[in-house]
Amino acid sequence: MPSSTKQCKIILLTGYLGAGKTTLLNHILGNDEGIRAAVIVNDIGEVNVDASLIKDGGLSQTDNLIPLTNGCICCTLASDLAKQLQDIADSGNFDYIIIEASGICEPIPIAYTISAYCDQAKYDGNAPLDLDNIVAVVDCARMWDEFNGGKDLLADNIDEDDIESLIIQQIEFCTTIILNKTDQVTPEQIKELKAIVRSLQGDAVLVEGENGDVPMSELLDTGRFSFEKAYDSAVWADAMAHPEEHEDPEVLEYDISTFVYERRKPLDIDKLSEFVQTWPDSIIRSKGMLWIDQDPDMCYVFEQAGRQVSVTENGLFVDSAPEDEKKKIIDDNPEVLDDWDPVTGDRVTRLCFIGRQMDKDAIVKGLDACVTEWIPD
């Protein structure tokens, strides 16, 4: 590669399901000051909900969105990630690659895949890519709600297939830690959680944030990650010494399963709200597009992470627009027709569920009880 070629930097976003990675990614895209970014979004489900939210969020015309779906880039999709990195490096069109890993991804195997394109010796001092920052997003509220204020991460009896083990790996192997959703906990709880995180990771920069709003200087062009330091770390050495521990897909290792609920009918929001209050702990994360009976022209985003639930507007359905405006939107975005129904148009409820030992039939039955009939105007 010619020496004049500018390196494309990489920021890797990790963190448990629902920690706020997509919100942070949209924050970066909305404040990147014209940086040309290739965005790789990984989702273990068969529907990449996060990719849709990013496309609707801060993605500019100079950015490129690449969804990697139905697996994890640390294992089953590692070769797909490598191919995308090679293609981006060869294109020379981007300043930055922003990678959002699935919430159950282990960071070291991802860094190992990236390392092949950052090896200066291999490329005669002109490696095409540079891993600049690994950011672990920690959900402060969830730490207190489900992990005993983070104390569960310090237990002596954590097995390799426990979720606590995964979160520890994400915290241990990073260069920046975002303590997210600090507005949902008290200053005293933040102080305790900081001490626990520091006991696991003493070197990473700690940054507090609300709704993913953190200074860009803590995210891009930090120069914090170094493969030389990583190679010398105990966690890297352990991972390289026991590669068999990273061979099984994370969905198997952590007993994670996923499914997608889809209906071309609206849901009654009051019934849904009541049903959500009864959800078992087996549902770790759910996210997707919601069509609500009480407001049938508006597309809503439904998000649940543990006990945290939110429903927010995501813009009007295309089919709700006046005919001339609808035609223009479709002409400009023909891919809209890929998911178009002759009766409901683009109106749909599509929710991706991620959990452990979920009773899919019971969840679907409960959601179907919230479905209402829709009669077009």
**pLDDT tens profile 155-180:** 999 998 899 999 999 999 999 999 99
* Phi, psi dihedral angles at 276 (to 5 degrees): -60, -35
Residue ranges making up the domain that contains 355:
257-368
The answer to whether the pTM exceeds 0.95 is: no
Angle between helices 234-241 and 107-115 (to 10 degrees): 90
Count of structural domains, the chain: 2
Identify which has the larger pLDDT, 321 or 2: 321
> Is the model's pLDDT at 351 over the cut of 70?
yes
> Is the model's pLDDT at 325 over the cut of 50?
yes
* Phi, psi dihedral angles at 215 (to 5 degrees): -60, 140
Residue 135 near residue 13 (C-beta atoms within 8 A): yes
Please tell me the predicted confidence (pLDDT) of residue 86.
94
Residues 42 and 164 in one domain: yes
Q: Is residue 299 part of a domain?
A: yes
Tell me, rounded to whole angstroms, the distance of Cα 228 from its chain centroid.
Answer: 27
Domain boundary among 252, 279, 306: 252
Distance, CA of 124 to CA of 366 (rounded, Å): 60
Predicted confidence band of residue 264 (pLDDT cuts 50, 70, 90): very high
Q: Is residue 1 part of a domain?
A: no
Please tell me the predicted confidence (pLDDT) of residue 247.
52
> Is the model's pLDDT at 61 over the cut of 60?
no
DSSP conformation letters of 88-123: HHHH---SEEEEE--TT--HHHHHHHHHTTT-TTTT
Please tell me the predicted confidence (pLDDT) of residue 51.
64
Residues 186 and 73 in one domain: yes
Mean pLDDT in residue range 324-340:
90
Within a 10 A sphere around the Cβ of 168, how many other Cβ atoms? 17
> Is the model's pLDDT at 59 over the cut of 80?
no
Which single residue is written with the structure tokens 């897909």?
249
- Cβ-Cβ contacts under 8 Å for 38 (sequence gap 6 or more): 8, 63, 64, 66, 88, 93, 94, 96, 97, 98
Residues 222 and 270 in one domain: no
Residues 161 and 240 in one domain: yes
Residue 104 near residue 241 (C-beta atoms within 8 A): no
pLDDT > 90: what percent of the chain? Answer: 69
Residues 187 and 311 in one domain: no
Please tell me the predicted confidence (pLDDT) of residue 253.
62
Q: Is residue 163 part of a domain?
A: yes
> Is the model's pLDDT at 1 over the cut of 50?
no
Supply the mean pLDDT for the chain. 89
Mean pLDDT in residue range 277-285:
93
